[in-house]
Structures are given as structure tokens and as C-alpha cells.
């Protein structure tokens, strides 16, 4: 089974080089538990492979035999600008790693499609104020789910795509954009991604969802990584739980491991080698 690196070196080594190509992976996390840092690390490390091999070797090490690096890395955001995302990455990881790793990453903002039917003033999210002719066709613009679908159709084949984040779509769910629309899109995405042969990471904040809502979204993906806080005495630690994940979970279950302690350092998100917990 062909695999694409997730960019988390210790995890990739444990699962045979990365996620199976064609996978849609849900990163569902409690606030601050590491899901966003996982996204940042995955994008930057995969962008670093060709951009700066020496720096990649320093922070990641050797790729597993047979691992296929993405042809390109795409980072999709509904609300944030590229400079804001890169700035956040630099809070998490070494500046040099971020600069080199994101140099060839394609950042796409779907802010206009996301905000167009909200009370948010146009000049808050549009690059330039629309003129009077543009305002006349304002309501004819593609909606955010259609825009996302079109972008993925054009750019997902053979690539790593990070979508940041599904939480934004859930937050605006109403008569024009319901959770059912989102789950149907994800089911279609799961089907198409098997043909595209890349890996798509979907970030979502699990704190904002009811268990049944999160369950419906999980069902529409190939795998789920849960990022949680675990309390032990007076301290809390971040943990990563691997739930259903085709081609991955069976490998971990053979080692009697499905939950990991995690850490965040200059190289980004990583699983800890201190202890492994079932």
C-alpha cells in the first residue's frame, strides 16, 4: 500500500511511512490539544522535503522506504490570511523551518465565499473594495462548499491538502449551509480522494460539536486522529488517540498502542517516546 508522510517522523515510522494515499483524515481536537500544530507540522515538513533537504533531515530524518512525498502541498483556509497562518506557525516551530517549509506551499483563502452572505463588512475580508458592478453580482458568487469542491478537484491529485478548518463551516450552519450538506460533501470527497491518490487533512475543534455531529463527520472520512488533554495529578498532558483508520489502525493494534503522549517543540508536533499508553 502506497503511503504519504504525515510529517510527524515518529508516527510515520510506526505506521509504515505515513497515511495510505487516497485518505481523508479527520484531525479532531480539544482546544489547544495539538490538532492545529499537527496540521502546521504536516504542511511545513512536507514542504521542506525538496525545499531544504538538509533542514528536513535535521528535523525529520530519513523517509521510510516506499514512502511517496506529495507533488505539492496546499493549505486551505476559510477565514485566515496566509501571513496570519505563517505567523502562527512561527510561534510553534523554528522560524527557519517555517520559512523554508512554507516557501512552496500554496495557500488559498476562501474568505470571500465564506463571508459573502454574512454581516461582515466586505473590506474586512476582500483584498479590494468591490466596485458597483461587482456588487451587482455579489449574490451570484459560488458558495463556500462549491468553491472548496472546485479547488480540490483541480489541486488534490497526488498532493497533500490541509483544510483549516471544518469548524468554520459548522459555525455558519443554517438554512443555506447545514451539517448535512457538509457531511454529504465529505462523503463525496472520500470517494474522490481514493482516485486522486493524495492525502487530505481536515481540522475540526471537537469542543464545539455534539457527539452525534462529530460521529457523522467521522463516518464520512477514512480515519480519525483525536487530540485530547489527559489529567494526571496536578499536570495535564496532550495525547493523540488513533481511531478508525484504514491501513493504519491494524498496525498500531498489533503493537498494542492506539494512544500516545505528544509534545510540541521547535520541530513542531511529535509523539513522545517517553511512554506509550493503550
71-120 pLDDT per residue, tens: 999 999 999 999 999 999 999 999 999 999 999 999 999 988 888 867 77
Domains defined for the chain, CATH in brackets: 3-238+256-277 (3.40.50.300)
Q: In the prediction, which pLDDT does 132 show?
A: 37
**Cα 244 to Cα 144: distance, rounded to the nearest angstrom:** 28
**Each residue's pLDDT tens digit, 201-216:** 999 999 888 889 899 9
Contact in structure between 7 and 75 (CB atoms under 8 Å): no
Q: In the prediction, which pLDDT does 127 show?
A: 67
Q: In the prediction, which pLDDT does 177 show?
A: 63
pLDDT band at 135 (very low <50, low <70, confident <90, very high): very low
Q: In the prediction, which pLDDT does 233 show?
A: 64
pLDDT band at 240 (very low <50, low <70, confident <90, very high): very high
Q: Which has more pLDDT, 70 or 180?
A: 70
Cα separation values, 185 from 22, 107, 244, Å: 16, 21, 20
- The pLDDT mean for the chain works out to 87
**Cα 39 to Cα 75: distance, rounded to the nearest angstrom:** 9
Q: In the prediction, which pLDDT does 139 show?
A: 44
pLDDT mean over 159-188 = 83
Q: Please give, one letter per residue, the 3-state secondary structure of the chain.
A: CCEECCCCHHHHHHCCCCEECCEEEEEEECCCCCHHHHHHHHHHHHHHHHHCHHHHHHHCCCCCCCECCCCCEEEEECCCCHHHHHHHHHHHCCHHHHHHHHCCCEEEECHHHHHCCCCCCHHHHCCCCCCHHHHHCHHHCCCHHHHHHHHHHHHCCCCEEEEECHHHHHHCCCCCCCHHHHHHHHHHHHHHHHHHCCEEEEEEEHHHCCHHHHHHHHHCCCEEEEEEEEEECCEEEEEEEEEEECCCHHHHHHCCCCEEEEEEECCEEEEEEEEEEC
Contact in structure between 209 and 26 (CB atoms under 8 Å): no
Contact in structure between 31 and 205 (CB atoms under 8 Å): yes
Contact in structure between 167 and 205 (CB atoms under 8 Å): yes
Cα separation values, 162 from 106, 148, 251, Å: 10, 12, 24
Q: In the prediction, which pLDDT does 137 show?
A: 43
How many whole angstroms from its chain centre is CA 272?
Answer: 20
Q: Which has more pLDDT, 253 or 149?
A: 149
Q: In the prediction, which pLDDT does 273 show?
A: 62
Amino acid at each position: 500500500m502506497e503511503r504519504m508522510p504525515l510529517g510527524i517522523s515518529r508516527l510515520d515510522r510506526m505506521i509504515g511511512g505515513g497515511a495510505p494515499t487516497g485518505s481523508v483524515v479527520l484531525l479532531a481536537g480539544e482546544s489547544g490539544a495539538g490538532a492545529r500544530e499537527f496540521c502546521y507540522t504536516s504542511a511545513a515538513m512536507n514542504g521542506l522535503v525538496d525545499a531544504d533537504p538538509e533542514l528536513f533531515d535535521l528535523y525529520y530524518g530519513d523517509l521510510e522506504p516506499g514512502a511517496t512525498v506529495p507533488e505539492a502541498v496546499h493549505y486551505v483556509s476559510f477565514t485566515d490570511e496566509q501571513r496570519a497562518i505563517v505567523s502562527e506557525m512561527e510561534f510553534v516551530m523554528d522560524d527557519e523551518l517555517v520559512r523554508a517549509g512554507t516557501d512552496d506551499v500554496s495557500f488559498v483563502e476562501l474568505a470571500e465565499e465564506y463571508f459573502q452572505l454574512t454581516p461582515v463588512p466586505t473590506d474586512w475580508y476582500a483584498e479590494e473594495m468591490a466596485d458597483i458592478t461587482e456588487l451587482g453580482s455579489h449574490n451570484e458568487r459560488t458558495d463556500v462548499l462549491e468553491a472548496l469542491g472546485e479547488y480540490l478537484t483541480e489541486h488534490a491529485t497526488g498532493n497533500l491538502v490541509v483544510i483549516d478548518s471544518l469548524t468554520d463551516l459548522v459555525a455558519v450552519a443554517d438554512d443555506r449551509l447545514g451539517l448535512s450538506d457538509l457531511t454529504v460533501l465529505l462523503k463525496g470527497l472520500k470517494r474522490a480522494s481514493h482516485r486522486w491518490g493524495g492525502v487530505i487533512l481536515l481540522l475540526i475543534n471537537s469542543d464545539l460539536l455534539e457527539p452525534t455531529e462529530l460521529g457523522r463527520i467521522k463516518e464520512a472520512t477514512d480515519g480519525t486522529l483525536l487530540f485530547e488533554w489527559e489529567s494526571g495529578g496536578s499536570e495535564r498532558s496532550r495525547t493523540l488517540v488513533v481511531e478508525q483508520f484504514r491501513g493504519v489502525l491494524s498496525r498500531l493494534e498489533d503493537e498494542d498502542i492506539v494512544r500516545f503522549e505528544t509534545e510540541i517543540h521547535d520541530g513542531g508536533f511529535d509523539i513522545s517516546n517517553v511512554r506509550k499508553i493503550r
